[in-house]
Chains A and B, each alone.
Chain A
Amino acid sequence: MSDDEAELERLRRLVGPSEIGYRELRDDVIAASTEAKSAVLESGRLRGELTEMSVQLARARQDQDMLQRRRDMGPVGYLGDLAQEYWRASLRPALGTALRRLGVRRTT
């Protein structure tokens, strides 16, 4: 209670003897906070869009890189690339399955 009274006195010293002045000050603080929140949210909206766009950009860049690489490597290189892909997507998983069945690798 004594803390509250001391706080009241402190605020009165700040805004003068008028209670109306204190309420107005409080309303101003609330309004300023609301504005600050809007500004922070707006910057967040832009930051969010930027984050999403950076993923799109990364996607476009790696697509461009892949297409250029494949164009430059010619048919033989491309076939090698496909073979590597076949190894990754088909042979290696099949090998993993076989090893798992033989108990060589730990199952999940």
Chain B
Amino acid sequence: MSAPTFSVLTAVFDPVPEHLASCLASVDAQTFGHWEHIVVDDCSTDVAVGHVLDAHRDPRRRVVRRRENGGIVAASSDALSAATGEFVVLLDHDDVLEPVALERIVECLAATDDPGDVDLVYSDHDLLRADGRTASPVYKPDFSPERLRNHNYITHLVVVRRESLDAVGGFRAGLDGAQDHDVLLRVSERSGAVLHVPEILLHWRQSPASVSASTGNKPDAYAAGRRAVSEHLERVGLDAEVEPGPFDGVYRIRRRVSGRASVSVIIPTRGSRGRVWGRTRVFVHEAIASMLADPARSVDVDVVLVVDSGSDPVVVRGARELLGDALTVVDYAERFNFSRTINQGVAASSGEYVLLLNDDTELVAPGSVEEMVRLAQQADVGLVGAKLLYADGTLQHGGHVYNDTIDHALRGWPGDHPGPNRLLAVERECSGVTAAAAMLRRDVFDEVGGMSEELPVNYNDVDLSLRVRATGRRVVWTPHACWWHFEAQSFDHPIDASELVTIRRDWSQELSHDPYYNPNLAPGRTDWLERPGRSGAPPYTRLPDGRVVWA
């Protein structure tokens, strides 16, 4: 592969001159030399801007001066027109590139089997504070298309193949402030690869007017973002409305169910009773009753109870009173094997979708079953997980993380917490989800061969998730489908060592590298704690006089 060429595009309008100088200097300092820098001055009113541009003359830098101010989209389009590189690098006028930024992109391209197939590369970034310190690193997952619909989790640094950007129409007028999100969505719709460099290659300036300083700074940008997401959904054939989400820059996608979906809820049960919120309940009855009482329920639901032999007859009788003909009972007389109970339940069901549900649950969010159906109706989505809360309202399940450990993301955090970089407030891809509340299409369940009976108690959902992903389908978690899960927080499942051996034997690589986590985060944890030295703490500097300072 010959070395790629880069066109760095920067639209300039009245930045703080020193910030612009830092930006230009960071391009000049690139360790990889095959670049050109197209700077479009969008009619800046500050004469100092012109002086800075004059002071940073370089044969590889071209300055285009617009006659009138046209906004970020017009200026970026002018820059794109002037670009000649194979890839374009989007760089704001006050942001700073790491010296190795382009070199790392080249290395990333070289490491792929088919660099010519790559449409988009992005990296991690951090914030450049007013005092010049870098802080708040944002360590991102590998490409996560569902999440990108929900919010622009990528933001910076973005490198796009020029040909691909041209093919999707470049920067679109009328989307000022969300033009980058729009570009990411449209380029990602193409069939090419999207790569992630898990390293901070850009420092995003936290200027007072920037979105990086306050998300309330650009309300118009979020309206434009909604439009960009809405049009993206239309292009990819998803029937949905886009509404503002609970946070600026987060969008709530309300899909419509296609056709008349039928859902079979598979609930293995021993008819256990327990005390929750001061009252004793038969868990499975409350699980069923809460779904039946859902005012937003619009899909056909039937329930398959897989009942352990020897369970109290009142369990089936109560379920029958609640469900009538919509109940199917499977007697399970064998030694306990969760996977087998699920497989037998699915075999006895008739729904187009199967919802695997633990009996110790209770519906929280109305319309949860529909939310999961809507996601499962996407052909490339194989498994959908839900948000689960412990009885005390803390988070039990926010998706799995396989990071030299197998656990739930951010377990024990406040149930309404948006999570680092809003990850608990958005629909997003995960490596896996728990089978305590998970939905998949029957054809997917059959294709992957159901749940592995080699894993009778633990990790069967991990195995199911990884087998679904191995078919090329995505596993998606949604915060908009939510159940209480009355699993004891302190209860440690008895783990048969053979189950751990089995899951590690089958999925060793997948369990040590989670594409939706980040190698900069500490191994063995699932709470987004960074490795030492990567949390944004100031770097070490020793002055010539021997004093140590933290920059």
Question: Which A residues fall within an 8 A CB radius of B?
Answer: 29, 32-37, 40-41, 43-45, 47-49, 51-52, 55, 58-59, 62-63, 65-67, 70-71, 75, 78, 85, 89-90, 93-94, 97, 106, 108
Residues of A within 8 A of B548 (CB): 71
Residues of B within 8 A of A29 (CB): 279
| Closest chain A residue, CB of each to CB of B542 | A75
**A63 close to B414 (CB less than 8 A):** no
Report the stretch among B70-78, B426-434, B532-540 that lies at the interface: B532-540
With A45-B393, A59-B529, A62-B532 known to touch, is A67 a contact of B537 (CB < 8 Å)? yes
Residues of B within 8 A of A75 (CB): 542
**A65 close to B532 (CB less than 8 A):** yes
Residues of B within 8 A of A49 (CB): 414
How far is A106 from B528 in the complex, measured between Cα atoms in Å? 28
How far is A106 from B507 in the complex, measured between Cα atoms in Å? 13
How far is A71 from B541 in the complex, measured between Cα atoms in Å? 9
Return the contact of A44 from the options B111, B415, B513 (Cβ within 8 A): B415
How far is A97 from B535 in the complex, measured between Cα atoms in Å? 27
How far is A97 from B109 in the complex, measured between Cα atoms in Å? 11
Return the contact of B392 from the options A33, A40, A63, A78 (Cβ within 8 A): A40
Residues of B within 8 A of A65 (CB): 532
**A71 close to B540 (CB less than 8 A):** yes
Residues of A within 8 A of B413 (CB): 48, 51-52
User: Ordered nearest first, which 8 A-B pairs have the shortest CB separation?
Assistant: A44-B392, A36-B278, A48-B414, A37-B277, A44-B393, A51-B412, A63-B537, A97-B111
Residues of B within 8 A of A89 (CB): 199
**A48 close to B394 (CB less than 8 A):** yes
Q: Mark B407-427, 1 if CB is under 8 A from A, else 0.
A: 000001111010000000000
Within 8 A of A (CB), among B515-551: 527-530, 532-533, 535, 537, 540, 542, 548, 550
| Closest chain A residue, CB of each to CB of B391 | A40
Question: Cβ of B390 < 8 Å from any Cβ of A?
Answer: yes
How far is A45 from B417 in the complex, measured between Cα atoms in Å? 10
**B415 close to A78 (CB less than 8 A):** no
Instruction: Give me 10 other A-B pairs in contact (C-beta within 8 A), A45-B393, A108-B510 excluded.
Output: A44-B414, A47-B392, A48-B393, A48-B395, A48-B414, A52-B414, A55-B527, A65-B532, A78-B542, A93-B111
24 A-B pairs, CB-CB below 8 angstroms? A29-B279, A35-B278, A40-B392, A41-B393, A44-B392, A44-B415, A45-B393, A47-B412, A48-B394, A48-B395, A48-B413, A48-B417, A51-B412, A51-B527, A55-B527, A62-B532, A62-B535, A66-B532, A67-B540, A78-B542, A93-B111, A94-B111, A108-B510, A108-B513
With A59-B530, A66-B532 known to touch, is A33 a contact of B279 (CB < 8 Å)? yes
**B393 close to A33 (CB less than 8 A):** no
How far is A91 from B417 in the complex, measured between Cα atoms in Å? 38
Q: Measured between C-beta atoms, what is the minimum distance from A103 to chain B in Å?
A: 12
**A52 close to B199 (CB less than 8 A):** no
Return the contact of B533 from the options A36, A58, A66 (Cβ within 8 A): A66
How far is A16 from B394 in the complex, measured between Cα atoms in Å? 41
Residues of A within 8 A of B234 (CB): none
